[in-house]
Amino acid sequence: MPDKFNERANALAAEYWRLKGVGSTVAGTADGTGTAAEKNAENKLADLEEIEKLLEQGVGGKLRAKLDAEARRLRKEKEERSSASQGLVEVRKELLELTAEFAPNLDLFDGRSFPYDSEHEPISEDYFSAITDLFLGKPQPSVQLKNAVFSKDGVEIRSETAGAGASSSSSSALKVLGDLIMLMQETAKKLLGTENSIDRACKMLRQNEYAFIVLRTLVRDGKGNGAGRRLRMRQIKEISYNEDKEYKELVRNIYDKELVKGVEYLLSGKWEHELVRAHDGEHDDREYEPTDFGVWVWRICNAEFESGGARVGKRRVWGERREKGERKEKGGRREKKEKGERGDRGERGNKG
């Protein structure tokens, strides 16, 4: 673990944004898309090619002197952008490697938060902007979780028990802090391409699309990304039905049952870290909510599924889903029909 995590994180983040400002290519952002700076760089490269072509063809006078000067300037910019782009790749890797060993220098819990250790620099907003740019494809001034906010002010605990007795509050806060550290480390490992629990959770979600639908419903419609609202099974079914009417009509006999199985799958002991938590209550009144890990996994997995052509609800989860549903429905109808025909033959035989 880095002894001076905060200082190292600040230095790398400052360099990350410096190079992004200089570089023409967004090297290694989470969504892999270009920016206005990239387009501008492409235009300048085209200008340089045209100028060099004209100079080779032959032109003189003041125009040649002007074009020579412009070509030198554009070549210098091109070299700087190339160097910055390569440097950005290296800094990105260092930033992720540091975060994979995430160990912020913090002080003791003060009842509401873990402030930064006064013997170290506070982690700058540049770091949070850089790490969320890498994690989520969009810079944000803090890492916002349901039970915690990690920012330049430290780690604020939003746990329901944070205001309870000192020992209870402290133990709850340590649990939330541990979850936050795990999320940061595992997401960084994922982007580095090393073994991580997020990839394993995404793989398991791919194996059960109804579990994915339940998690999506809890995160998006249960406000699991901040407000902490809980949903009962009845509410999950209603919301999922409204968003997925077309598909449910095809498989109406199995849809609700599969949602229940999806909840059971999410609550099973197969997961390394909880994605969904069930609260006390009778079966029909039991409430479910996503954990911070569940929200985080859903955001990352959903982005991957959509970018890979796997879509949710009306937009379909995985390509074969509708076809599978149709086959189940047709198979069920065929089986009923065959049973009916066998019954008719039996009755005719008895009459005979």
Alpha-carbon distance values, 48 to 40, 77, 147 (Å): 12, 11, 52
The amino acid sitting at 8 is R
- Phi first, then psi: what are they for 349, rounded to 5°? -65, -40
pLDDT tens digits, one per residue of 268-308: 989 999 999 998 777 667 899 999 899 889 888 887 777 66
Paired sense of beta strands 113-114 and 154-157, if any: antiparallel
Phi/psi at 278 (5° precision): -100, 140
| Domain map (residue ranges) of the chain | 5-192, 199-319
Write phi, then psi, for 148 (nearest 5 degrees).
-160, 155
**Residue 136 binned pLDDT confidence (cut-offs 50, 70, 90):** confident
* Rounded average pLDDT over 22-50: 56
- Total-model pTM: 0.68
Q: How far apart are CA 13 and CA 127, in angstroms?
A: 5
How far from chain centre, in Å, is Cα 190?
A: 11
Q: Does the structural domain 199-319 have CATH classification 1.10.1060?
A: no
Per residue in 247-275, pLDDT (tens digit) is 666 676 788 889 999 999 999 989 999 99
List, edge to edge, every strand of the sheet that includes 154-157. 113-114, 154-157, 148-151, 143-144
Most confident of 128-142, 231-245, 327-341: 128-142
Supply the Cα-derived Rg of the chain in whole angstroms. Answer: 28
